[in-house]
Structure 1
Amino acid sequence: MRHRPRRVIGALTWRVYHRRTGDERRNGGSGARVPRRRHPRPSTGRDNERFGGGSQLGVVALNITLTQLRAFCAVAETRNFRTAAERLHLSQSGVSVQVAGLERGLRLALIDRRPPGWRLTKAGEVVLERARAIVEQGALLEREAAAIRSGVRGQFRLGATLSIADHSLSLMLSDYLRAHPEVRVSVRVQNTREIENAVLAGELDVALIEGSLSSVGHLVEFPYARDQMVVVCAHDHPFAERCHISREDLLEAPLIAREPGSGSRALVEERLGVSLSELNLRIELSSVRAIVTAVAAGMGVAVLSRRSVAEAIAEGEVAAVDVDGVDLARFFRMVHVDGGPSNDAARAFATHVRAIAALGPQQRSAAAG
């Protein structure tokens, strides 16, 4: 068997030469080089190069916690680690540790930390949607577990204004009653002033209203969800061709409004700086559904909660426009007597409402309708 001349130029050259000639011998002396066997590496996207991907089957045993998911959601929603830390009552370094732990547990890079500023990776955007749902379910589980431990039962009297009752009350009560199956609720639906008077008179234990309180010092209010009022009109109305109208346009238009005492009406009068009775007021109605029907029939325009008319807008029944220079944002509020509700069932409902307010914007919007 003929071998190549052996010329050693240092130890490294000698090792390379013998590795090659050894391969040739194992190939029967043909002189053909046998390629070294290499194991395929799992493919990974750019977003998770730092973590080397997962197994070839893509199955990874997750080692993550709700605390990590809450921290990631807070950072993604606030776009700031310090603000997220304040929301979660943690240190900024603690939030960073939780997010980094989530990335290790998922074996994915969720945040691109390269300059000029951090942003979510594509993987982070996908994980954020799932994380929000898991955090919301975790919060619900915590409330239900607390309810089971407390054994809350009995009955309480709940008041709600028309806009809230028409749109979000059923969803809020559904979550509450699922957590407190032994509780019975009696609901009264009226306008804001009537509900306020009923709470003051002790006829209601707790209430959900859409306006501000007129009494001072007797009742406690807690804002739990943000709402936006919009002008609604028929599709053949001149306003429908525009995205925005002026304050003067609205003041000159034929109006359809809620009855006196309504929180929606009071807010419109406050923000416009004028009483609606002094304007071109065509009809007063105490039902949001009746107002939408009148607007669609071309009887006039109205200012209503976007939540209340979202379905009518989506179905093309009416159109919505904003008013330039007029802030029509408001909060839905929980109201009870100073010192809190008097029975366990009502106190548990108040705790449920506060838990909704503590959620992130998207979860809060879903929970509060």
Structure 2
Amino acid sequence: MDKHLQIFITVAEKQSFSKAAEEHYMTQPAVSQYIRTLEESAGIRLLERSNKYVRLNKAGEIVYHYGKEILGLYTTMQHLVDDLMNRANGPLAIGASYTFGEYVLPRIIADLLEIHPDIEPAVTIGNTAEIADLVAMHQLDVGIIEGEFNRKDMMIEELAEDEMVIVASTENKLFHQKAKIELSDLANETWVVREHGSGTRAATENFFQKADIQPVRLMQFSSTQSIKESVASGLGITLLSKWAIQKEIKYGDLKIVPMEGFPFTRAFSIITKSPFQTKTLEIFIERLRSSKLLRIF
């Protein structure tokens, strides 16, 4: 691996030559020499320096962006070569959208580690768009995302169906005013929704379009947990995966709104970038495919 590139990325992330030196067990002058050599090779300065800061300039941003991808590819290559002689072990960078990452993935990883204790999973949770971008840049080995997804630079495998329902506080007037709840009643409610880029937000907007309703008010939160707390507190209603609301339904904090056509389903999908997979990644994906947890509903 190119040491100059590795040290440059550390300096950029730490915004400090001294902290980079500590990270690589080197002297600060040695780090400075590595950076000078890289800049001479590139034919341009990559960092703006002063007594108060170290930061990337435009050229540095380009080198940092592609440098991260290069190092990710190098790591994958090394693991693939190691796999020819060794059993499944070492790091596995997993990305997951919020619903899968928070409510399904932990139990699958626990099952995986019972059989393969030498695997070292590192999990990143974000919305579907964020996870896809990290997989594309080789910062993640695999992503599990939700909803409709179509990118030609990715390999996509549908994994399981996710059932989604409308939920509200048990005290919501929807449950007490009418024997049958109509779509027009939902339009008059405040809808608590996820941010754009989220699979759950995409599913919610898809529902609005198909039902031909325009809610009077939207309230946006960036996590499923904050949405559940808000809805349980009476701030509005929402559309969520059954996976995300098991405990709240069990303990009476939330109640499913009975509507014709629900639950409706969306897909959980596996996304990868490289056609080559380490033994560790192969084992993890096979564990996903065979998991009984995904057939709970």
Normalized against structure 1, the TM-score is what?
0.52
Q: 1:335 aligns with which of 266, 271, 275?
A: 271
The answer (yes or no) to whether the contact 1:251–1:279 under 8 Å persists in 2 is: yes
The answer (yes or no) to whether the contact 2:184–2:213 under 8 Å persists in 1 is: no
Normalized against structure 2, the TM-score is what?
0.64
- Going from structure 1 to structure 2, the CA distance change for 1:251 and 1:299 (only over 3 Å counts) comes to same
- Specify every segment of 5 or more residues in structure 1 that has no aligned partner in the other structure, as ranges: 1-148
The answer (yes or no) to whether the contact 1:240–1:320 under 8 Å persists in 2 is: no
In structure 2, give the amino acid aligned to 1:154. Answer: G
CA RMSD, Structure 1 to Structure 2 (Å): 2.8
In structure 1, give the amino acid aligned to 2:248. Answer: A
SS in 2 for 1:269: helix
Q: 1:314 aligns with which of 250, 269, 275?
A: 250
Question: 1:51-130 residue pairs with structure 2 within 5 A?
Answer: none
Cα distance, 1:263 vs structure 2: 0.1
Other-structure match for 1:352: 287
Asked whether 1:175 is paired with 2:105, we answer no
In structure 2, give the amino acid aligned to 1:297. Answer: S
Other-structure match for 1:194: 130
> Which gives a bigger RCO, structure 1 or 2 (Cα 8 Å, sep 6+)?
2
In structure 2, give the amino acid aligned to 1:259. Answer: E
The answer (yes or no) to whether the contact 1:158–1:204 under 8 Å persists in 2 is: yes
Other-structure match for 2:233: 297
Cα distance, 1:277 vs structure 2: 12
In structure 1, give the amino acid aligned to 2:161. Answer: R
Other-structure match for 2:173: 238
Identity across aligned pairs (percent)? 25
Q: Which string of whole-angstrom CA distances, capped at 9 and with x for unpartnered residues, describes residues 85-117 of structure 1?
A: xxxxxxxxxxxxxxxxxxxxxxxxxxxxxxxxx
Name the CA distance, whole Å, in 2 between partners of 1:281 and 1:238: 17
Name the CA distance, whole Å, in 2 between partners of 1:259 and 1:279: 16
Name the CA distance, whole Å, in 2 between partners of 1:214 and 1:276: 25
Other-structure match for 2:158: 223
The answer (yes or no) to whether the contact 2:165–2:262 under 8 Å persists in 1 is: no
Name the CA distance, whole Å, in 1 between partners of 2:257 and 2:272: 34
In structure 2, give the amino acid aligned to 1:346. Answer: L
The answer (yes or no) to whether the contact 2:159–2:289 under 8 Å persists in 1 is: yes
Other-structure match for 1:21: none
SS in 2 for 1:203: coil
Asked whether 1:260 is paired with 2:190, we answer no
Other-structure match for 2:183: 247
Other-structure match for 2:139: 203
Other-structure match for 1:283: 219
Name the CA distance, whole Å, in 2 between partners of 1:155 and 1:244: 52
In structure 2, give the amino acid aligned to 1:155. Answer: P
Asked whether 1:365 is paired with 2:277, we answer no
Cα distance, 1:150 vs structure 2: 7.3
- Going from structure 1 to structure 2, the CA distance change for 1:243 and 1:221 (only over 3 Å counts) comes to farther
Name the CA distance, whole Å, in 2 between partners of 1:195 and 1:276: 30
Q: Indicate the structure (1 or 2) with the bigger Cα radius of gyration.
A: 1
